Structure 1
């Protein structure tokens, strides 16, 4: 299964490069099912892989001036605080045996994978749905900013990132467009920066209670980085909307598969 895992690592990077998000939600399932890692350890590894890959992916947006640093800081601060609290207090507090229904026991690993599956299904909807015809290059110009909503969104994304190791780009981009009125391309670039900071900080918060196999982790991250470079190149040759929809259906199927595997097939 290792060969399949390394091939999947390339696909994670390609997906991020092609559509600016979504690939990170495949990282934990890849680590759990193809490399047979514990789900909690997989979330920590995913944070490093997603963070490192997003750093590389954000370079081209920096060069084009499509990153709003102030927004990344304002949005990122509550996210980082939430990640720290989640990795240090919430995640360790979850019991190894959460609850039992009849003969079926929901363990900590199963709970995390089910949460991940739900996230994948929600993410697939945002990828599959068609645009309403309005240009996504211009965000609303007269919408008043709601800083309380921004704070809550940052905290929510931080908790999601801390719990299941996903960058949450599909949640960050709509927030940047609707709450902070950023143009879509700037939102994508800024989102990659936020994902980079959140993920790498989350990984650092995990080091004190995580035994890291650095050779393995760096090899996966390097392959994913190669993938994002390939995806960034292909994005200039292929229409992103069709790819986004197709990837969304794939993520939906994967999410349903995880739910079935962790419940019916257990």
Structure 2
């Protein structure tokens, strides 16, 4: 029976790693539903396992991207350290709030992610980006590749970190679904740089959530270890196809999948 659980955990972790490699933001949001429905875990049990797997896979992806020089590491440190500080609070809340409400909140977050991906997938891509006269809050110097740090930029990066940290500890998500759209909105960092920076942040934020869960004794290593191994191995494999499979159709497919899972999560939460 233990081998069956380990094998299933490995396969589910692999699915998370593939999605993380392709989207940079979607792996964590699917890890917890897989554990809830596949292994019938409670939210408080599934959240730290999903966070460990996503954090390790994201750390590997961030290291590979760092070698390419596309990680905005100072912004990642700002967001990540803030998230690390807030994540244990989310873990504590997950232990205090009943399973049903936490699952319902997760379903609502997942529904928002689905709506956002489907909406973006319907937009026709423009071959030429329209010129913008207004600099973003965190403007990147195209020559140096560094962000121009001002008070509004620091505040927005800190807010992004706090929100992603709270959700990572509470729901077991990496926070990429928050980090990627926020960085895209407040900066002019290219898409690959946003995804790479998001992975670096997820790796940092996950540390706080996993340590908080481990110290509180809510991390089942028998399930967590194979799940995390599957995610890391699949991330390495998925990177080979990320450039070919990215795009509008991938966004739409992920949006449909996220929407379906959100409905299932709401049904499970309603039924207790």
SS of aligned partner of 1:126:
helix
Matching residue of 1:61: 65
In 2 relative to 1, CA 169–211 (structure 1 residues): closer, same or farther, beyond 3 Å?
closer
Matching residue of 1:99: none
Matching residue of 1:240: 247
2:45, 2:220 within 8 Å by CA — same for their partners in 1?
no
Gaps of 5+ in 2: 139-151
Q: 2:39 aligns with which of 20, 35, 40?
A: 35
Matching residue of 2:48: 44
1:139, 1:177 within 8 Å by CA — same for their partners in 2?
no
In 2 relative to 1, CA 33–139 (structure 1 residues): closer, same or farther, beyond 3 Å?
farther
Gaps of 5+ in 1: 95-107
In 2 relative to 1, CA 92–7 (structure 1 residues): closer, same or farther, beyond 3 Å?
closer
SS of aligned partner of 1:37:
coil
Matching residue of 1:86: 90
Tell me the distance in 2 between the aligned counterparts of 1:138 and 1:68: 24
Tell me the distance in 1 between the aligned counterparts of 2:124 and 2:182: 17
Matching residue of 2:232: 225
The total of aligned residue pairs comes to 251
Q: 1:112 aligns with which of 102, 119, 125?
A: 102
Matching residue of 2:125: 133
Matching residue of 1:252: 259
Deviation at 1:55, TM superposition (A): 1.2
Tell me the distance in 1 between the aligned counterparts of 2:72 and 2:106: 29
In the alignment, does 2:169 pair up with 1:162? yes
Tell me the distance in 2 between the aligned counterparts of 1:150 and 1:234: 30
Q: 2:208 aligns with which of 182, 201, 204?
A: 201
SS of aligned partner of 2:239:
helix
Equivalence map 1:146-157=2 (5 Å): 146=152, 147-157=154-164
Tell me the distance in 2 between the aligned counterparts of 1:192 and 1:205: 20
Matching residue of 1:184: 191
Matching residue of 1:102: none
Deviation at 1:132, TM superposition (A): 5.7
Matching residue of 1:143: 136
2:48, 2:219 within 8 Å by CA — same for their partners in 1?
no
2:94, 2:171 within 8 Å by CA — same for their partners in 1?
no
CA shift digits 1:41-81 (9 cap, x unpaired)? 21111111110111122232112111011111122222222
> Alpha carbon RMSD of aligned pairs, Å?
2.5
2:75, 2:157 within 8 Å by CA — same for their partners in 1?
no
Deviation at 1:135, TM superposition (A): 7.1
SS of aligned partner of 1:128:
helix
